Amino acid sequence: MAAVRDHLLLFITISLFTVSHSLSDIEGLLKLKNSFTNADALNSWNPNSYPCKNQWLGIVCTDSFIIGIHLSDMGLSGTIDIESLQAIRSLRTISFTNNSFSGPLPEFNKLGALKSLLLSFNQFSGEIPTDYFSKMSSLKKVWLDNNKFTGKIPDSVLQLPHLKELHLEGNQFSGSVDPLKNPQILTSLDLSSNLLEGQIPDSYAKFSAASFAKNDKLCGKPLDKDCAAVNAQASEINQSSYKSSGGKTKVIVFVAIAFVLVFFVLLSLLSARHQNDNFSMLKKDEFNDVEEVPVPQTTTQRPPDSSRKGGGDSTRRVSNHGRSGVSDLTMVNDEMGIFGLPDLMKAAAEVLGNSGLGSAYKAVMGNGLSVVVKRMREMNRIGRDGFDTEMRRFGRLNHRNILTPLAYHYRREEKLMVSEFMPKGSLLFVLHGDRGNCHADLNWPTRLKIIKGLASGLSYLHQEFATYELPHGNLKSSNVLLNDNYEPLLADYALHPLINPNNAAQAMFAFKCPEYVQYQQLSHKSDVYCFGIIILEILTGKFPSQYLSNGKGGTDVVQWVHSAISENKGVELIDPEIASNTNSLNQMVRLLQIGASCTESNAEKRLDLKEVMRRIEMVQI
Q: What are the structural domain ranges in the chain? A: 14-214, 316-420, 427-617
Q: Quick check: do 14-214 and 316-420 share a fold?
A: no
363: Cβ contacts below 8 Å, ≥ 6 apart:
8, 10, 293, 344, 347, 348, 349, 370, 371, 372, 373
* Topology given in CATH for the domain delimited by 316-420: Phosphorylase Kinase; domain 1 (3.30.200)
Instruction: Round to whole Å and give the CA distance between 372 and 349.
Output: 9
Which of 185-199, 274-288, 433-447 is the least confident region? 274-288
Confidence at residue 379, expressed as pLDDT on a 0 to 100 scale: 87
Q: Is 58 left (phi over 0), alpha (psi -120 to 50) or beta?
A: left
pLDDT in tens, 22-75: 447 888 898 898 989 888 888 889 888 888 877 888 888 876 788 889 888 788
pLDDT in tens, 593-612: 999 999 999 999 999 999 99
Assign 205 a pLDDT band (cuts: 50, 70, 90): confident
Instruction: Round to whole Å and give the CA distance between 69 and 67.
Output: 7
Confidence at residue 106, expressed as pLDDT on a 0 to 100 scale: 94
The mean pLDDT value for 340-353 works out to 79
Q: Are 226 and 219 in contact (CB under 8 A)?
A: yes
Per the model's pLDDT, the better-predicted residue between 51 and 241 turns out to be: 51
Confidence at residue 322, expressed as pLDDT on a 0 to 100 scale: 35
Confidence at residue 136, expressed as pLDDT on a 0 to 100 scale: 92
The mean pLDDT value for 198-209 works out to 90
Which of 162-176, 314-328, 514-528 is the least confident region? 314-328
pLDDT over threshold 50, residue 254: no
Class of the domain covering 14-214 = alpha beta
Confidence at residue 204, expressed as pLDDT on a 0 to 100 scale: 92
Give domain 427-617's CATH superfamily. Transferase(Phosphotransferase) domain 1 (1.10.510.10)
Backbone angles phi, psi at 290, to 5 degrees: -135, 140
Assign 551 a pLDDT band (cuts: 50, 70, 90): low
Q: Under DSSP, is residue 190 helix (H, G, I), strand (E, B) or coil?
A: strand
Q: Are 116 and 95 in contact (CB under 8 A)?
A: yes
The mean pLDDT value for 147-160 works out to 94
pLDDT in tens, 296-312: 333 333 333 333 334 44
Q: Under DSSP, is residue 80 helix (H, G, I), strand (E, B) or coil?
A: coil
Per the model's pLDDT, the better-predicted residue between 346 and 271 turns out to be: 346
